[in-house]
Amino acid sequence: MEIFEILTNLRRRGMRIWTEEEDIVVEPDTLTEADVTAIMAHKPAILALLHAESASGATTAPRGFTWTPHDVETLLTTVFDRCDFWREQAARAARPRIEALMKEVEPVIAERLERKDYDAAREALICLQRRIGDLINGAN
């Protein structure tokens, strides 16, 4: 399960998610064991995304199952604004790979947004987030 799916799932079930320092807080605390396992497996990436949301005032949760152009733009702005944060969290060895990845993916997302293909832009964004998370967590 990817972090966007984890957060969306919890929010659709009426839970609020935020950070307190380096802890993830969920209210009401009605998490299942599967929820806790998923959150713990992706904690660094979830923390980074929640910090980005907090800094921008944005949310990554879609309204229902429909992504509006505004949702996509807000999400893109949040993620791209916080790329520096992610780069700083990455090991020095991963930094050049993250920068190369950003140069590779940013034009793809921009092109998909120009075509108004928001589902494709969202998928590219999710892929970008996953790949940055993998680099931050030391995966190849």
Q: Where are the domains of the chain?
A: 3-56, 69-136
pLDDT top residue among 135 and 58: 135
pTM over cut 0.85: no
Phi, psi of 9 (to 5 degrees): -60, -50
How many CB atoms neighbour CB 109 within 10 A?
A: 21
pLDDT tens per residue across span 40-53 = 988 888 888 787 77
Beta-bridge partner residues of 26: 17
Phi, psi of 27 (to 5 degrees): -140, 135
Residue-level pLDDT at 107: 87
Quote the mean pLDDT of the chain.
76
Phi, psi of 123 (to 5 degrees): -60, -45
Per-position DSSP letters for 78-120, written without gaps between them: HHHHTHHHHHHHS-TTTHHHHHHHHHHHHHHHHHHHHTT-HHH
Dihedral sign for Cα 85, 86, 90, 93, please.
Answer: negative
